[in-house]
């Protein structure tokens, strides 16, 4: 069972307003990410208005979920690489330098989505995260994010 | 002066609910795209809650704008390639197969954004669109979308 605090719960208040994952953004998506062994996992239930063609999830939402799950995963990986817990100082926060999404199949709107992140590289300030998106256990999209630590 | 009807205004009602660009999605972003010569243009004013780090636009919103502006541009390019007006049948509608975004600089939250699309390729059911995002005249992100026409 993963830690009950999500990666995003450790973001300092002054950088916790992101529309995708900031806990302090009242209108945001509130993406929450956790370790599951060496993978990271995020579960998200799209709202009915997050539609593309009727019955399917909007691709921009999928891109947003991948983006925020990956930057959260990058932060978690950054702490791990330094051998530190996420509640220790200095806080690590990452931004997206590049985002790539391949839409493999229409993602059904209705079930909870599961995003799984794999840390591909941690090098200096850069972390590369691959993300797989599944609905009903079937992979419908995969993405890759290059995240860079804020100075 | 561009046509007053946006590309998205021509989408048939049954495929006009997209969160990003569907005119019938009450909670959506309502992306609207137009020809400007051989380029396509979309202007969008992010809302205050579309924040990333305070003062900057959420990257997932930028990805969403690129996505919908590009699929709209793909549709417009598809009609042009067939020598048809957008209000003629059969309607052409495209979905995203792949989306790539490079975030070149933080995008300031406040000014209207301008997205410009360039049609890179129209081949069979596939259209490739490059998109440049500018704020205050400065390019802050660029993207590329592979769009595929629905059968």
A-B C-beta contacts closer than 8 Å: 120
Residue B26 included in any domain? no
For B74-96, write each residue's pLDDT tens digit: 999 999 999 999 999 999 999 99
pLDDT score, position B1: 47
pLDDT of B45 > 80? The answer is: yes
Give the one of B19, B54, B101 whose C-beta lies nearest to A49's C-beta. B19
pLDDT score, position B4: 86
Residue A106 included in any domain? yes
What lies within 8 Å, CB to CB, of A119 at 6+ separation is A38, A40, A73, A74, A77, A127, A128, A129
pTM score, whole prediction? 0.96
Report the domain count for chain A.
Answer: 1
Name the minimum distance, in Å, from the CA of A17 to any CA of chain B.
7
Percent of chain B at pLDDT exceeding 90: 95
pLDDT score, position B9: 95
Shortest CA distance to A73 belongs to which of A60, A62, A86?
Answer: A86
Chain CA centroid to CA B61, Å = 12
pLDDT of B3 > 90? The answer is: no
pLDDT score, position A20: 97
Q: CA B138, B144, B150, B151: dihedral to nearest 10 degrees?
A: 140
List CB contacts (< 8 A) between A65 and chain B: 60
Residue A71 included in any domain? yes
Question: Between B121 and B2, whose confidence is greater?
Answer: B121
* Domain encompassing residue B107: 35-149
Residue A91 included in any domain? yes
Name the minimum distance, in Å, from the CA of B141 to any CA of chain A.
9
CATH code of the domain in which B124 resides: 3.10.129.10
Residue B144 included in any domain? yes
pLDDT in tens, chain A (151 residues): 455 899 999 999 998 999 999 999 999 999 999 999 999 999 999 999 999 999 999 999 999 999 999 999 999 999 999 999 999 999 999 999 999 999 999 999 999 999 999 999 999 999 999 999 999 999 999 999 999 999 7
Residue A44 included in any domain? yes
> Nearest residue on chain B to A63, judged by CA atoms?
B60
């Amino acid at each position: 069972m993963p830690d009950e605090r999500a990666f995003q719960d450790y973001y300092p208040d002054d950088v916790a307003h992101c529309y995708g994952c900031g806990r302090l953004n009242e209108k945001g998506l509130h993406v929450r990410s956790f370790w599951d062994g060496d993978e990271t996992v995020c579960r998200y239930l799209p709202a009915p208005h997050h539609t593309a063609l009727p019955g399917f999830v909007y691709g921009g939402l999928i891109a947003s979920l991948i983006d925020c799950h990956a930057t959260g995963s990058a932060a978690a990986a950054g702490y791990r690489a330094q051998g530190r817990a996420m509640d220790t100082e200095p806080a690590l926060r990452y931004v997206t330098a590049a985002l790539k999404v391949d839409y493999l199949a229409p993602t059904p709107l209705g079930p909870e989505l599961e995003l799984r992140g794999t840390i591909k590289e941690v090098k200096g300030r850069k972390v590369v995260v691959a993300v797989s998106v599944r609905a009903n256990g079937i992979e419908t999209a995969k993405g890759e994010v290059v995240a860079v630590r804020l100075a």
